[in-house]
Structure 1
Amino acid sequence: MNGLIRYTRPTELFDWSRMLDSFFDDAPVWNTQTPAVDVKEEEKRYLMEVELPGLTDKDIELKVEDNILTLSSKKEESKEQKKDGYLLRERRGAEFCRTFVLPQDADRAEVKAEFKNGLLMVDIPKKPEAQPRKIDVRVN
């Protein structure tokens, strides 16, 4: 019987305190948020879809430097203070930075982006010389 541990039932007050602590402590807290990204290769281009709910086009920065595509955002938290009535406040400013190494056949000068309804679509064309082409075979 050496492996048994005696169980002591906590008092009701302790249970209530623990319940409140777990309510507030178990809530997810994010210092930064990383958006979900899908990248798809097609014959003439790469397509990147990025979910950015709650952001506007002014919150997003997209740049290409050498063969690195950088997507970043910094949305400031509202300075309005409404203390009364809040039990939990998870919506805050959002800041993130993602970098992607572009493939060698990507045409970095022709990258385009469109933002609509919280979805950023990045179109990365392939260089013309990297695209497949049909070669005619001549007979002499």
Structure 2
Amino acid sequence: MNLVKFNSDKRNNGALMPGFNDVFDSIFNDTFFNDRMTARVPAANISESDLHYHIELAAPGLKKEDFKLSLDRNVLSVNVEQQKEQSQGQKSYNKREFSYGSWVRSFTLPDSANVEQIDATYNDGILMIDIAKREEAKAIRRQIEIK
């Protein structure tokens, strides 16, 4: 037996069969399908300071050895390929939201980035990548005297 959710608050203006569209909405808006359609890549914060560009990726539960960073032309790619653990006495899950699979996140670097000076650290579930700026791109600040 399957339970199908209907949204009685919706108005089916002009529908030949009221409630018919609710069947499809309930199927495709169900968490079972949404969980599988959602991309499983970590969220990123990108910021800039006077001397560097900064990328932070939220990737908890990994080890620094799980990450592989590569640079192809001006595209920086962060790649994780993690195998599922096969253990005896596996649990039978009712719902499983932890995702331990493979993913790739790519970032196109600006021309002002110095690709020779890229540093990465992984601490407390956050992968932090610092990309130095070229000398000509660094912000020049000075006080200008008013005459």
The answer to whether the superposition gives a TM-score over 0.5 is: yes
Q: Which amino acid aligns with 1:120?
A: L
With a CA cutoff of 8 Å and minimum separation of 6, indicate the structure with the bigger relative contact order.
1
TM-score (norm. length: structure 1): 0.70
Point out where structure 1 has 5 or more consecutive residues left out of the alignment. 1-13, 136-140
RMSD: 2.6
Find the aligned partners of 2:111 and 2:118 in 1 and give their Cα distance.
14
User: Which secondary structure state, in structure 2, belongs to the residue aligned with residue 75 of structure 1?
Assistant: coil
Farther off after superposition, 76-85 or 45-54: 76-85
Look at both structures and tell me which one has the larger radius of gyration over its CA atoms: 1
SS of the residue 1:107 aligns to: strand
Counterpart of 1:69 in structure 2 is 76
Give the counterpart of 2:45 among 35, 38, 61: 38
Specify whether residues 130 and 31 from structure 1 end up closer, same or farther in structure 2 by C-alpha distance, changes over 3 A only: closer
Structure 2 unmatched runs, 5+: 5-26, 143-147
Question: In 2, Cα distance between the equivalents of 1:73 and 1:85?
Answer: 26
Q: State the identity as a percent.
A: 27
Paired with 1:84 and 1:78, the residues of 2 have a C-alpha distance of: 12
SS in 2 for 1:120: strand
- One-letter amino acid of the counterpart of residue 66, structure 2: D
**Count, aligned residues:** 116
> Which digits, 9 at most, give the CA deviation of each residue in 1:45-70, with x for residues without a partner?
11111100111101111112211100
